[in-house]
Structure 1
Amino acid sequence: MGSHLYSKLQALSSKIKQASVNGKWREVVSGYSEIQSAGIQFNDPFVFPIVFKACAKLSWLLQGFESYVSVGNSIADFYMKCGDLCSGLRAFDCMNSRDSVSWNVIVFGLLDHGFEEEGLWWFSKLRVWGFEPNVSTLVLVIHACRSLWFDGEKIHGYVIRSGFWRISSVQNSILCLYSEFDSLSARKLFDEMSERDVISWSVVIRSYVQSQEPVLGLELFKEMVREAKTEPDCVTVTSVLKACAVLDDIDVGRSVHGFSIRRGFDLVDVFVRNSLIDMYSKGYDADSAFRVFDETTCRNIVSWNSILAGFVYNQRYDEALEMFRLMKKEALEADEVTLVSLLQVCKFFEHPLPCKSIHGVIIRRGYESNEVALSSLMDAYTSCSLVDDARTVFDSMSYKDVVSCSTMISGLGRCGRSDEAISIFCQMRDKPNAITVISLLSACSVSAVLRTSKWAHGIAIRRGLAINDISVDTSIVDAYAKCGAIDIARRTFDQITEKSIVSWTVIISAYAINGLPDKALASFDEMKRDSYTPNAVTYLAALSACNHGGLVKKGLMIFRSMVEEDQKPSLQHYSCIVDMLSRAGEIDTAMELIKNLPEDVKAGASAWGAILSGCRNRLKSGIITSEVVAEVLELEPLCSSGYLLASSVFAAEKSWVDVAMMRRLVKERNVRVVAGYSMVLEGSIARKFLAGDKLNHSDSELNDVVQRLHRCMRLDDMVGPIN
């Protein structure tokens, strides 16, 4: 503030205080009005109470008050700016004479305090009385229209007719209004603007990103830099980084990071740094994301949530937990976003107790209305086999949207409760989307009921998803394959117009699980002829087909081609090869492979279990050593399958002492033994045959079981083709 203005403010403040001492309340209000008219920033805490007292003393009862329009405007403005809207409106109503300032004070005050509908109503009255808004009021009116989804063309027309169009702040406000609804109209208006500032460029770039057109947003940013007339600011860079994150384009993101460093944005703006963390995380470069986070001195809760979500996104769950521990050490309180990331960690590690703890936090902090948090909680509960807890959360929700329903359907299907999943789908009030239908198809595949899968297929067709969404098409193929209807699965696959590597992988896997390895490998070769490059999952499906078909040479050849094509084999690939060799009786070769795995691959229980199983089948005494059994039991100490397999192998070798030892370990370690079962469909009833069930060996009962199985085996012949 200049010395002249400062001196004037001091003089007016002294005048107001002296008038208050003498009880001259008109002079108090008049002095405040002079301060407002001069445009001086007024923040004297000792003067405000005096002005309030003057307004109360006057109480709009003084004779001749109507002649003081400027005083009335000041009183109304004072109340509106202090948030006492009722008193401000009363002051306005008591004024017998009003001018354009009077109306603008009321409209601006209402809109500035978030009363959009009331403010627009007063704006319409302002126009009826023939007054014009000032620029500040008009900008707020346009903002209110944007918040209430009003027709942008009407207010745009008014701006042009009223002569405000040449003002840059008004132009940018109209541009923001269009950008909320139609990026094409926003770009058209942007191109018509003769003068564009940084706000204009930033609004249109952000509009493209929000409209899922990030490529156009990046092109406009490059045009902005090429023109070199307008310097991008932090807001521009934040929108561009978001576009890079959506596209997973880390190369362009690095360039933008360099640009922000040269401009000095990355050091001073926390929004830019948070956007950099998100961009690097979405680009699968968690190390760079952490470096940005580590160098950030002005961290906020968004910074912590971004790096936490980034580690989860990149499946680095241990580091995510470590970041949460550091977050607690910094005494930052977790919010809903933090809890959602933590639930993803719990889901991965299948830790039920932390899920319950997070549930308690959600209840205590009143996050139960947050649908994302509750959906994540249900997903974590079902992953931890706490299906009933997930169902309790779902049933407690007052409104079950499509996300929560899809989550519950998926979780129930994953836990084998397909009937409940289908029931929830039938009770949905919202229109199901592609994810919902995919979850439904997954539940149908778990039930292995062909009729139900056909019903779900029909729903996908009626919703227009069976043709337009390749993820849905692929799920339909998978559902039919898991129902054993491999011919229908193939016909559905052939109807997919735009195939992907995922759909090819599903049909290869479909043939493999249905005992048709030759057709699986034929599809694998057909896929490569059609110029599709197999990924790690595709190779695993092909290796699985070779494994179950006993095609050892073909399997080793495919594995070798995977390595030659720079596809790094994972533990699952090595385990499949070990299992294949063990099934074929190549126990020595399998043992040699498992002991010479790459340094970053550690053999799991499935690989060691495959060797045990192979030895049992081949009765190869001398191969079973304490080392093999110890590895299996150490890797999965609470899983019954390892103990049962070891016991079975020892029994085959007639080593009864070792069999007794395995049984003793099961009891000592309180291992819960889960029996295997087969499930077949007889008519509309699913019948389960549990391993170890005690049956009465009467001829009639055995015949009944055999007849039921035969009827089930003939079901496929009775089912007609899909419509």
Structure 2
Amino acid sequence: MVEKRTSWLMLGLEQAMASLEEQARPLPSVEDLIFFVQNCRREKKQDIALRLHAYLHENGFETHPALGNRLISLLIEVGSVCHAQQVFDSLDLKDERSWNILITGHVKHGRLQVGLSLYEKMEKIASLNPSGYSYAALLKACAQLKDVERGCAIHAEIVRKGLLAGDAFIGSTLVDMYIKHGSLAKAQEVFNIMPTRSVVVWTTLIAGFVEQGRGEEALRYVEQMRREGITPDAVTFVCSLKACGCIGATDKVHILHAELVKQGLEGELLLGSTLVDVYAKCGLLEDAQGVFNKLEHTDMVAWTTLISGYVDAGFEEEALSCFERMQTQGFSPCQVTVLSGLRACIGIGSLLKGQEIHADIVRKGMEKDLFVGSALVDMYGKCFSLTDAQSVLNKLPARNVVSWTALISGYTEHGYGEQALYCFDKMEDEGISPCMITFVSVLKACGSIGAIEKGLEVHAEIGRKGLLETEVFIGSILVDMYAKCGLLFKAAEVFDHLPVRNAVSWTALIGGYVEHGGSEEALTRFEEMQRQHFVPAPATYVCSLKACTSEGFAIAGEEIHAEITSKGLEGELLIGNALIDLYVKCGLLLEAQDVFERLEARDVVTWTSLISGYAQRGKGEEAFRTLNKMIAEGVLPNLATFSSLLNACNHTGLVERSQMYLEALTNGYGFSPTLEHYSAMVDLLCRAGQVDKAAAMINRMPFCPGTVAWHSLLGACQKGHDFQRGRHAFENVIQLDERDFPAYTLMSNIHGNAASEQAIGVG
């Protein structure tokens, strides 16, 4: 027998199997076949295993318990669980080993419900007991299925049989099951009664707390584990670092990092990548880069972690630099890396780099991926390439609420409200339900173009979905939409019925009143807001100060200014600009100058407001000096600045200087003069008695002159008794507005002057 078995083994697996299949008689012994099955298990060849199963089945060996159990194990190991089940079903005698092998096999290969059903059948046979491995497999199945009820029942059975005290593996699996279900209290309960706890079970519990965002408790268990003499392994270190990241414990990260360096583990890929991730999440990008540079080997996970860290911290340029270095080192970006790269492009508004990444996406065949496609739509939308955004969306094989919302938001943000609403209708036609972000973008679009009917429809849809009760922000956007459309009564109605209000909703309503001339109502609401103990946001103060610029509210503005100062907000740029604008319009230039001097940072709006104030009060030299200081500080003038400068020239009759500024506007700063600039120049020339030049400028305007310019010329013609030119100016005014009564008065005076001159001439 030994000689026969040795010669059979010498043939090799394939030849031995072929020999078995060809040999009709005599049949090999059970012992020989068991030996052959064991050889098959070592090599794990599925085709040989299936041929052996067929041979044993045809020749009646399949039902033998010793051979059958080994065959079940072989078939499970090569992944043929269904054939293993067939062998089990045909066994004459199914012992504990048969049941346990098959239960663990089903679970191992993802047939979780089948494994649990088999366990329930086994439990009904009093003489059979599941093994520790079976219980562990069953608990894993419950964890994956999130079937905590059945898991608890198995737990109770384990306790009843006294297995928990003597089997650390079962205890560890129980802890893991409860953690995966989110039942940390039950996991702790099992953990606390375990007689022995390995580093694996400690780490399992610690990882559970980290996954639930309970970093402090996780770190306490790490310390307790060390006190009990258990040395952390690599996975424990990973969990500890993530726990530090959860709570921003940078000091503990540095301590763990030092320990890893001491143990020579800093360059290990898993630990190094985790360190990079945690440092990045804590905003310590230099440390993250330093760890990354010391990694012995890098992979896509490490690169992606570093790139995402830079993007999350707002260092988009560095992120894109890493993105390029990664590719030069031969790494091809995965989906997550590409998404981070596109976010970086959005952060710095780099359309060119976004197009390069898009081209790479197309080369790699990733453009059809819904996540990547949606990110591309978002990138193009935010980088003001809406045609490309629409094109990418059109090419997606499937679209979802994310991709549609990215396009709708892009159109809305760049002032294309009608296209945004068109896309919204198309999205709903495709049966895609809007999310809150979609509604926000659509309501903003309605507000921007005054689409009140669509706004009412969207409001009704929001109401049906119950979003006003659950999403505070959507109520604020609704108030803002109605206010921008001029329906202040509707804005107030929505606001008054909001279940929850905040500074944003109050500001939307106050801003709406200010925008439509309801300054008194705005200030009333501002006072009501404070009576109800809401803290105004900077934007609320800005709106309230704008309300005070109306005649008669300067005192209220000073009171708000005092409140702003008491809260230390006077130095904020937007608030400072609003205060300067208030004092300028109220003629309080000393107060405006005082606020100006206190600002830590100033922009073109700040400087222009002060220049405008000097111009309005006829203080041309102060206006011009302020301009020079502004340019010296590196702030360039804009169109509004030049309007104020021309106004200053007008008040002081400085024709040559005004012409110099008009030329600088075009040739020095590359602006095209607006109607306001030309009208100011015409008025100045008329006041200076240079009517011919004024008329010539009106004729040279690249667009239709407005009533302001014609009025200036008409007034000059009255003073100069220029009947013909005055009549021409009058006719143009009447074409623009036939109810312009001041023009009729001026023309009547010109007629009177002409008649008087004619009478004197006759006399």
The DSSP-based 3-state class of the residue aligned with 2:727 is: coil
Partner residue of 1:102 out of 166, 170, 193: 170
Deviations 1:69-100 (A, max 9, x none): 23333333333332321221221132021344
Worse-matched range after superposition: 358-367 or 311-320: 311-320
Worse-matched range after superposition: 126-135 or 478-487: 126-135
Partner Cα distance (2:682, 2:271) in 1: 71
Alignment of 1:40 onto 2:141: no
Conservation of the 8 A alpha-carbon contact between 1:100 and 1:132: no
Conservation of the 8 A alpha-carbon contact between 1:179 and 1:207: yes
CA change 1:107–1:243 in 2 (3 A) is farther
Q: How does 1:190-589 map to 2 (within 5 A)?
A: 190=292, 193-225=295-327, 228=329, 230-265=331-366, 267-368=367-468, 369-415=470-516, 416=519, 417-427=521-531, 432-446=536-550, 449-467=553-571, 469-514=572-617, 516-546=619-649, 553-569=656-672, 571=674, 573=676, 576-577=679-680, 580=683, 584=687
Give the superposition deviation at 1:457. Answer: 3.0
User: In structure 2, what is the equivalent of residue 713 of structure 1?
Assistant: none
User: In structure 1, what is the equivalent of residue 743 of structure 2?
Assistant: 649
Conservation of the 8 A alpha-carbon contact between 1:76 and 1:89: no
Deviations 1:503-535 (A, max 9, x none): 212222333455545533432233224443212
Partner Cα distance (1:23, 1:71) in 2: 16
User: In structure 1, what is the equivalent of residue 211 of structure 2?
Assistant: 144
Partner Cα distance (1:409, 1:311) in 2: 27
Partner Cα distance (2:665, 2:630) in 1: 15
Give the superposition deviation at 1:489. Answer: 0.4
Give the superposition deviation at 1:355. Answer: 2.5
Unaligned runs of 5+ in 2: 1-44, 50-76, 238-264, 750-763
CA change 1:300–1:206 in 2 (3 A) is same
User: In structure 2, what is the equivalent of residue 683 of structure 1?
Assistant: none
The DSSP-based 3-state class of the residue aligned with 2:637 is: coil
The DSSP-based 3-state class of the residue aligned with 1:465 is: coil
Conservation of the 8 A alpha-carbon contact between 2:139 and 2:177: no
Conservation of the 8 A alpha-carbon contact between 2:404 and 2:427: yes
- What TM-score results when the alignment is normalised by the length of structure 2? 0.70
Conservation of the 8 A alpha-carbon contact between 1:508 and 1:542: yes
Conservation of the 8 A alpha-carbon contact between 1:552 and 1:581: yes
The DSSP-based 3-state class of the residue aligned with 2:197 is: coil
Give the superposition deviation at 1:406. Answer: 3.5
Worse-matched range after superposition: 486-495 or 543-552: 543-552
Give the superposition deviation at 1:412. Answer: 3.6
Give the superposition deviation at 1:622. Answer: 2.3
User: In structure 1, what is the equivalent of residue 30 of structure 2?
Assistant: none
Alignment of 1:608 onto 2:736: no
CA change 1:451–1:181 in 2 (3 A) is farther
- What TM-score results when the alignment is normalised by the length of structure 1? 0.73
User: In structure 1, what is the equivalent of residue 54 of structure 2?
Assistant: none
Worse-matched range after superposition: 176-185 or 375-384: 176-185
User: In structure 2, what is the equivalent of residue 623 of structure 1?
Assistant: 728
Deviations 1:9-45 (A, max 9, x none): 12233357679x9999996675232233xx32438xx
Give the superposition deviation at 1:488. Answer: 0.8
| Identical columns (%) | 19
Partner Cα distance (1:128, 1:173) in 2: 32
Deviations 1:598-639 (A, max 9, x none): 5xxx65xxx53324644664556522577654545xxxxxxx
Q: How many equivalent residue pairs? A: 624
Conservation of the 8 A alpha-carbon contact between 1:612 and 1:624: yes
Partner Cα distance (2:581, 2:445) in 1: 28
Q: How does 1:45-84 map to 2 (within 5 A)?
A: 48=113, 53-54=117-118, 68-84=131-147
Conservation of the 8 A alpha-carbon contact between 1:304 and 1:327: yes
Worse-matched range after superposition: 198-207 or 451-460: 451-460
Partner Cα distance (2:326, 2:485) in 1: 50
Deviations 1:462-513 (A, max 9, x none): 433333x333322322232233311110122122243332321222233345
Worse-matched range after superposition: 147-156 or 413-422: 147-156
Letter in 2 for 1:236: T
Conservation of the 8 A alpha-carbon contact between 2:88 and 2:94: no
Conservation of the 8 A alpha-carbon contact between 1:270 and 1:298: yes
Conservation of the 8 A alpha-carbon contact between 2:479 and 2:492: yes
Partner Cα distance (1:483, 1:616) in 2: 30
User: In structure 1, what is the equivalent of residue 38 of structure 2?
Assistant: none
CA change 1:103–1:208 in 2 (3 A) is farther
Give the superposition deviation at 1:442. Answer: 3.2
Unaligned runs of 5+ in 1: 633-642, 656-723
Conservation of the 8 A alpha-carbon contact between 2:374 and 2:403: yes
Partner Cα distance (2:450, 2:172) in 1: 60
Give the superposition deviation at 1:294. Answer: 4.5
Partner Cα distance (2:339, 2:620) in 1: 51
Letter in 2 for 1:457: H
Deviations 1:412-456 (A, max 9, x none): 433423323422552465655543443443344457633333333
Letter in 1 for 2:83: A
Deviations 1:114-158 (A, max 9, x none): x2745764686488851443799579537515x345477667877
Partner Cα distance (1:125, 1:592) in 2: 95
Partner Cα distance (1:29, 1:587) in 2: 107
CA change 1:53–1:131 in 2 (3 A) is same
Larger radius of gyration: 2
Conservation of the 8 A alpha-carbon contact between 2:187 and 2:205: no
Conservation of the 8 A alpha-carbon contact between 1:32 and 1:51: yes
